[in-house]
Amino acid sequence: MKHLQTLLLIEAVAQAGSIRKAAEDMNITSSALNRRIQGFEAEFGAPIFERLPRGVRLNPAGELLIQHIRAQSSDLERVRAQVADLSGIRRGRVSISCSQAIQPYFMPSKIAEYRREHPGVTFSVNVRDRDAAEMELRNYNSDLALVFEPRHLAEFDVIMSITQPVYAVMERNHPLAAKDELRLRDCLAYPHVVPPPAIGIRYLLDLAVGRMSQKLAPTIEAESFEFMRHYVQNDQAIGFQFPIGLNIGLDDRLAFKPLSVRDISPGNLSLLQMKGRTLPVASARFANQLALALADL
Amino acid sequence: MKHLQTLLLIEAVAQAGSIRKAAEDMNITSSALNRRIQGFEAEFGAPIFERLPRGVRLNPAGELLIQHIRAQSSDLERVRAQVADLSGIRRGRVSISCSQAIQPYFMPSKIAEYRREHPGVTFSVNVRDRDAAEMELRNYNSDLALVFEPRHLAEFDVIMSITQPVYAVMERNHPLAAKDELRLRDCLAYPHVVPPPAIGIRYLLDLAVGRMSQKLAPTIEAESFEFMRHYVQNDQAIGFQFPIGLNIGLDDRLAFKPLSVRDISPGNLSLLQMKGRTLPVASARFANQLALALADL
DNA sequence: CTTTGCGCTTCTCTAAATGCAGCGCTCTCT
DNA sequence: AGAGAGCGCTGCATTTAGAGAAGCGCAAAG
């Protein structure tokens, strides 16, 4: 869109950290870009970049402005989607960031279900830890985020929120697999595989272990739940996961047992959007469907 | 702001109902304006105006767009105010629509109080009935609305809400002035002055009278509460007003007596803003102060 | 049946934005 | 210490996007 051109250039400069680099990215000369920025700052009434010897950086005013720019261009997208919607075409793109646990079973089935009704809608799914997911919302890179244990709830609107207990994952004939409910200390007696600290489930584990005035001594710290699933089949090890990330009852090689909520508090799974933002139709509808599905869990 | 030029022109056309008129308003030629609109429609991907023989009118897509334009330019204003704010200057303009009852005593004192701390902030106060006030919010013409009996609460964020009983207003030695609390039917036995149906207090009166399966037979229907105050001194007539619009205890010629809540439900006074909107700093602070003041009533 | 007011088009021109080359500066690396 | 690289910024020639003037066709109003 032509009228956003200058704003997009500003964003590109903020991104690139230098006018010349951004100019190259946007296929114009640095002098033209430079003067557009100066012109904008003049009519805006305040500089928005700090000039550094090696380039430029947004100053606080610029930070405020860039936020406006992102909100604004994403809102224009929303309007266009809505216009397309009222001319009968159901299309659009839903972008969502989610925790790793959501990815293998839950999200694919929900997306498939949605696309059965709205085949024109495309999706962009990113797996992010809770901090990164929130950053995506803030940047308007994602419309939605479905994450465990979000941090800065005040900055976002919570569309839906449920809790899920932590499950232990182990080989089917592991000694602990006989019990219905496990104690955390029993699990920790075996080698255990935990995700890095940025992940929600690790946060809960650290909290719980802290309360027991023990320390977590992870045999293996691994990002990938897929890795964990396979590893526990070898070493009599214990892994941890939320039930939404498990195909309970469908895996004949692994056993999934809930941990006692006395030991470890259940994880809070929240569907978030940027505070006060009006989502594009497609995203809003998908959020709605997700909220219903979560309520049924 | 240059980059909004086209958008503002579109708004002007929507306003004027014709390209030529709008062109005159904006001091350009109609041909230039015409081409800008066509250019915009082309890159937007859909027409936004219906072409009529006597001019143009927004189509549904245009309605959506104009909403975006208003939100967008008011948000840019907010950013600029915030930038000014962080360079230490407290300035800005607070625009508020309010019911008539708010205007004589409450609003002036609250504005004076606010301006004692922030002398750089200016105000724009419009008296509007509840429908018109809501329209002002929707158009982003007002940041805030303080009205009795708002209608479409779902479209707005309610910052604060209180109730106030309806008072009868009469001459000091009116027969009814002796009682502490009045019944509605007693008041209606005298000539009465009521505002037109668009006003909140009239709405409550109509409701109450409807429940009594009587009909309102207003001696005088008058917009102005000022007129009402003076009229009741002549004709042994009864007027109606909320206490926030009365200088109770300071008027030696009039008596103010509450109506029984059994007869007429108290008025709901709500401080509203457009849903999901981030207000400029000055307006947000003033809203905060108003909310506190309302809580103390 | 003329008149009026409208959106839209064509042509010409001007003012604003662009590209090019180069300046002065700071930091880095030899 | 000196050369070089990378940066923001500026003067000047050039391009281009946008503005104005005039006029066409059309439909409702008088």
Nearest to B79 among A68, A80, A276 (CB): A68
Tell whether the model's pLDDT for residue B180 goes beyond 80. yes
Whether B75 sits inside 8 A of A79 (CB atoms) is no
List the strands of the sheet with B121-127, edge to edge. B121-127, B92-98, B144-148, B267-274, B156-164
Least confident of A55-69, A127-141, B122-136, B216-230: B216-230
Residues written for chain B = 297
Residues A184 and A253 in one domain: yes
Same domain, B191 and B113: no
Q: Looking at beta carbons, which residues of chain B come within 8 Å of A80?
A: 44-45
Query: With contacts defined as CB-CB under 8 Å, which chain A residues touch B39?
Result: 2
Whether B29 contacts chain A with CB within 8 A: no
Shortest-distance nucleotide from B55 CA to C1'? C6
CA A197 to chain CA centroid, nearest Å: 15
Which residue type does A41 have?
Answer: E
Q: Considering Cα of A47, then A50, then A51, then A56, what sign does the dihedral take?
A: negative
| pLDDT (average), residues B280-288 | 92
Residue A229 and residue A174 in one domain: yes
Domain holding B135: CATH number? 3.40.190.10
Question: Has residue B204 been placed in a domain?
Answer: yes
B34, B113: one domain:
no
What's the Å distance between residue A35 CA and nucleotide C9 C1'? 35
Is residue A85 helix, strand or coil?
A: helix
List the B36 CA – D25 C1' distance (angstroms).
21
Residue reference for tokens 């244990």? A149
Distance, in Å, from the CA atom of B120 to the CA atom of B123, rounded to the nearest integer, reads 10
Q: Is residue B277 part of a domain?
A: yes
Non-local (6+) Cβ contacts of A192 within 8 A are A218, A219, A220, A237, A238, A239, A240
**A59 CB near a chain B CB, below 8 Å?**
no
Nearest-Å Rg of the Cα atoms of chain B is 23
The answer to whether residue B85 sits within a structural domain is: no
Structural domain includes residue A78? no
Determine what percent of chain B is predicted with pLDDT higher than 90.
Answer: 69
Q: What pLDDT does B98 receive?
A: 95
Would A285 be classed as within a structural domain? yes
Helix/strand/coil percent split, chain A, to 5:
45, 20, 30
Query: In angstroms, how far is CA B216 from the centroid of its own chain?
Result: 26
Helix (H, G, I), strand (E, B) or coil at B41: helix
- Answer yes or no: are the C-beta atoms of B146 and B270 closer than 8 Å: yes
Per-residue pLDDT, averaged over A250-260, amounts to: 91
Point out which residues pair with B258 in neighbouring strands: B167
pLDDT of amino acid A161: 96
CA distances to A2, A225, A231, A246, B44 from A242, rounded to whole Å, are 47, 11, 17, 7, 45
- Which of A80, A89, A274 should one mutate to test binding to chain B, selecting the residue with the greatest count of B CBs within 10 A? A80
Q: What is the pLDDT of residues B92-136, one digit of tens each?
A: 889 999 999 999 899 999 999 999 999 888 899 999 999 999 999
Helices (H), chain A: 5-16, 19-25, 30-44, 60-86, 106-117, 130-138, 184-188, 200-211, 225-231, 281-295
Residue A71 lies in a domain: no
* Cα distances (Å, whole numbers) of residue B96 to B122, B163, B284: 11, 20, 11
pLDDT of residue B89: 66
Q: How far apart are CA B216 and CA B202, in angstroms?
A: 10
Q: Cα(A127)–Cα(A286) distance, rounded to whole angstroms?
A: 17
A29 touches strand C (CB under 7 A): yes
Angle value at C-alpha B10, between B9 and B16, nearest 5 degrees: 85
Integer Cα distance of A87 and A92 in angstroms: 13
- Answer yes or no: do A83 and B46 touch at CB < 8 A: yes
Task: Among A16, A33, A66, give the residue marking a domain's end.
Answer: A66
Query: A158 and A248 share a domain?
Result: no
pLDDT-wise least confident of B112-121, B137-146, B263-272: B112-121
Same structural domain, A261 and A276: no
What single-letter DSSP state applies at residue B275?
T
Residues A13 and A131 in one domain: no
Q: Both B217 and B246 in a single domain?
A: yes
Residues in chain A: 297
**What confidence score (pLDDT) does residue B88 get?**
67
- How many angstroms separate the CA atoms of A43 and B63, rounded? 29
Residue A208: pLDDT band with limits 50, 70, 90: very high
CB pairs under 8 A between A and B: 75
Q: Which residues of B touch A277 (CB under 8 A)?
A: 276
Shared domain check, B261 and B171: yes
Identity of the amino acid at B162: I
Q: CB–CB of A1/A67 below 8 Å?
A: no
Answer yes or no: do A170 and A261 share one domain.
Answer: yes
Structure confidence at residue A89 (pLDDT):
61
Contact A83 B65 (CB under 8 A): yes
Q: Which of residues B297 and B288 earns the better pLDDT score? A: B288
Nucleic strand C near CB of residue B56 (< 7 Å)? yes
Query: Who's near B270: CB < 8 A, 6+ residues apart?
Result: B146, B147, B148, B150, B153, B158, B160, B161
C10 C1': nearest CA residue: B31
What is the average pLDDT value for chain A, to the nearest integer? Answer: 91
C1' of C24 to CA of A50 (Å): 19
Give the domain range for residue B12.
2-66
Q: Please state the rounded mean pLDDT for residues B66-86.
A: 93
Compute the average pLDDT of residues A187-196.
Answer: 89
Give the list of residues 6+ apart from residue A85 with CB closer than 8 angstroms, or none.
A91, A92, A281
Contacts of A65 in chain B (CB under 8 A): 79, 83
Q: How many domains does chain A have?
A: 3
Enter the pTM of the model.
0.80
Please indicate, yes or no, if residue B11 is contained in any of the structural domains. yes
**Residues B143 and B192 occupy one common structural domain:** no
Interface list for A 247-286 with B (CB within 8 A): 276-278
DSSP single-letter state for residue B209 = H
Q: Chain B, 32-91: which CBs lie within 7 Å of strand D?
A: 32, 35-36, 39, 53-54
- Residues A158, A173, single domain; the answer is no
Minimal Cα distance from B43: which residue of A?
A: A1
DSSP state of B172: T
Q: Which secondary-structure segment (H or E) carries A259?
A: none
User: Lowest-confidence range among A67-76, A215-224, B101-110, B285-294?
Assistant: A215-224
Judge whether B82 lies within some domain. no
Position A47: which residue type?
P
Pairing of strands A220-221, B49-52: unpaired
Query: Is it the case that residue A7 has pLDDT exceeding 80?
Result: yes
Which CATH number fits the domain that encloses residue A42?
1.10.10.10
